[in-house]
């Protein structure tokens, strides 16, 4: 459950989201809901399903995404220190 300034977003059984708004802060509630849906990957999934993708193209896209994630993770890791030889 996420709670901020009178807005509560919680996930129910079955994957449903419930947004409780207090104080008529609907804009904040929409913003929190959109952020939560984006974090869950819903928008990416909708974009992927809008058109048919051939299996070969799907595999290439998956490899490209994995390569991008790997390079991104390498940017944030500290470089390994060389080990002293004995």
**pLDDT tens-place values along the chain, 86 residues long:** 555 555 566 666 666 778 888 788 888 888 888 988 898 888 988 988 899 989 999 999 999 999 999 999 988 876 667 777 76
- CA-closest candidate to residue 37, choices 65, 3, 12, 9: 9
Q: 32 is written with which tokens?
A: 């929190």
- Report yes or no: 36 and 18 within 8 Å, Cβ to Cβ: no
């802060």: which residue's tokens? 25
Strand 2-4, strand 17-21: pairing:
unpaired
Q: How far is the C-alpha of 85 from the C-alpha of 83, rounded, in Å? A: 6
Q: What is the pTM of this model?
A: 0.52
């Amino acid at each position: 459950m996420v709670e901020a300034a009178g807005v509560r977003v919680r996930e129910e059984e079955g994957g449903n989201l419930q947004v409780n708004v207090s104080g008529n802060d609907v804009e904040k509630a929409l913003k929190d809901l959109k952020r939560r849906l984006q974090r869950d990957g819903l928008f990416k999934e909708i974009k992927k399903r809008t058109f048919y993708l051939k299996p070969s193209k799907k595999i290439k896209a998956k490899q490209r995404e994995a390569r991008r994630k790997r390079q991104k993770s390498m940017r944030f890791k500290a470089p390994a220190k060389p080990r002293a030889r004995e």
